[in-house]
Amino acid sequence: MKKIVIIGAVGGGATVASQIRFYDEEAKITVFDRDDTMSYAACGTPYAIGQVIEDPESLLVADVRSFKDKRNIEVFLRHEAVEIHRNEKRVTVKNLQSGEFFDEPYDTLILAPGGSAVVPDIEGLSTSEVFVLRSYGDMQKIKDHITRHKPQSCVISGAGFIGIEMAENLKHLGIDVQIVHRSPYVMSILDEDISELVRKELEANGIIIHTDTSISKTDQRNVTLENGKTLQADFQIMSIGIQANTKLAEKAGLPIGPTGGIVTNEFMQTSDPDIYALGDATENVDFVTGREKRVPLAWPAHRQAYLIARHLTGTAIAKNGLLGTSVVKVFSQTVGMTGLSETMIKENGLPYATVIHRGNSNAGYYPDHAKLTLKIHFNTETRKILGAQCFGGKGVDKRIDVIVTAMYGDLTVDDLQALELSYAPPYSSPKDPINMAGYKAVSK
């Protein structure tokens, strides 16, 4: 009987355990996690804080008992793996409740340690109420603080996914929000013109934004910025980035790549064939360029869990590169992207052109329609799509998903005009924005 040990019990770790069990009824599977909850929907935590999701416990997908009863998988929470002994194929684990150390043998080890929120070394930070949002426990702390202290204002450091989602949800609770962002424009993964649309929507909903600066000092409610401004905030949220949890892998001598993630091959194996890794802590490759890429999002972790399970159970499937497809709700609008931004294209020295279509999400005469901007970059030599971004009131996810499918299907930008996409006035137009972008690309 094969002994499989998994480090990490959230999205990637819990999913890979379940996937392996689906294909292998006999393997002995043991999971360790240092947190006190497992298998929760981390992406839903901002909306639970904002009370859009009324029951936070609905984010808890599974628990220790259900994993044991339904899947025959042992899960130990509040247990931290502290060292991997590769030659002896065992892991030293610390029981965080009792302080006891013990060794757990394995035939196969799977690392799903995730990532941690980056908290900069800021003068006086300990004097202020400061939170991060990376776990179910973090969510509970923020909710508890809001319930008990009823804060009226918050400064969010970072205008990425979490920062923007938290800005909307805190505003939903009636809290005044200011965002501080080091880059010149919000959501730095976007092109500047699409980012500006996001900024306008944030500001239209009362969010005050400070770009090209960062927090240099805090003193209780006083937040001093590098540009000299001083803000007032009852509490702060740090959402400036995610650092891969690679210390365990590094200590074991497993290679870490230039993006800061654990290096894996096409089957998610590390340099040690008996140790796999997946999720936020891993380095993968970019679908377009083939260069190193780390994408700390839910979809890659779940896909990688499936690939590991199939490789372990005899039907190997190699991973594709990652596009970094993402979508974010911004009050009444949505922004989505896939593939390379214009900055990334220039950094890679690729010949490119851009087509932009501004129109309606669906028939303009239909009462429920919204403005939509679709921007697509393509290689001028091969005509292959390099990336796309979309902003609008509805239908953004649909258009980005079509572009993703086109890229995976190796279609050119010219092929977009010929796609027979579904049409009825409530949903699209006879020539969908995707088709229109394809027609417009012909002239380029």
Which residues fall within 8 angstroms of residue 163, CB to CB, at 6 or more apart?
A: 156, 157, 179, 181, 237, 239
Q: Which token pair is 399? A: 């258009």
Q: What share of the chain has pLDDT > 70, as a percent? A: 100
Q: What is the mean pLDDT of residues 169-190?
A: 97
Let me know if 390 is a catalytic residue: no
Are 356 and 431 within one domain?
yes
- One domain, residues 189 and 250: no
pLDDT at 11: 85
Same domain, 349 and 378: yes
Same domain as 427, residue 379: yes
CA distance linking residue 181 with residue 240, whole number of Å: 8
Q: Are residues 236 and 123 in the same domain?
A: yes
**pLDDT-based confidence at residue 120 (cuts at 50, 70, 90):** very high
Strands 3-7 and 230-232: unpaired
**What is the rounded average pLDDT of the residues 321-342?**
98
The mean per-residue pLDDT over the stretch 17-38 comes to 96
- 3-class SS at 156? strand
Q: Where residue 57 sits, what CATH number does that domain have?
A: 3.50.50.60
Distance CA 387, CA 376 (A): 6
The candidate with the shortest Cα–Cα distance to 235, out of 166, 312, 336, is 166
Q: Which of 3, 23, 41, 43 is catalytic?
A: 43
Q: For residue 324, tell me if it sits in a domain.
A: no
In angstroms, the CA 304 to CA 297 distance is 11
Asked if residue 438 is part of any domain, the answer here is yes
Last residue of a domain, one of 176, 211, 240: 240
The yes-or-no verdict on residue 50 having pLDDT over 90 is yes
- At residue 282, the pLDDT reads 97
pLDDT at site 385: 98
Last residue of a domain, one of 240, 258, 280: 240
Clarify whether residues 232 and 131 are in a common domain: yes
Alpha helices in 50-184 (DSSP H): 64-71, 136-149, 161-172
**Mean pLDDT to the nearest integer, 338-345:** 98
According to DSSP, residue 320 is labeled: P
Domain CATH number, residue 428: 3.30.390.30
- 391-441 pLDDT, tens digit per residue, is 999 999 999 999 999 999 999 999 999 999 999 999 999 999 999 999 999
**pLDDT tops 90 at residue 314:** no
What residues make up the domain containing 417?
332-442
Mean pLDDT for the stretch of residues 92-117: 97
Give the tens place of pLDDT for each residue, 252-306.
999 999 999 999 999 999 999 999 999 999 999 999 999 999 999 999 999 999 9
Contact 236, 132 (CB under 8 A): no
Q: What's this model's pTM, rounded to 2 decimal places?
A: 0.94
pLDDT band at 1 (very low <50, low <70, confident <90, very high): confident
Q: Do 205 and 128 lie in a common domain?
A: yes
Asked if residue 118 lies in contact with residue 240, where contact means CB atoms within 8 angstroms, the answer is yes
CB neighbour class for 57 (10 Å; exposed up to 12, middle 13-18, buried from 19): exposed
Average pLDDT on 66-72 reads: 95
Alpha carbons 33 and 38: distance in angstroms, whole number: 8
In a domain, 325, yes or no: no
Question: How do residues 200-241 score in pLDDT, each as one tens digit?
Answer: 999 999 999 999 999 999 999 999 999 999 999 999 999 999
Residues 23 and 131 in one domain: no
Distance CA 57, CA 60 (A): 5
Same domain, 39 and 111: yes
- Do 288 and 343 lie in one domain? The reply is no
Q: What is the number of structural domains in the chain? A: 3
Please report the DSSP string for 206-243 in residue order. Answer: T-EEEES--EEEEETTEEEETTS-EEE-SEEEE-S-EE
Average pLDDT, the chain: 96
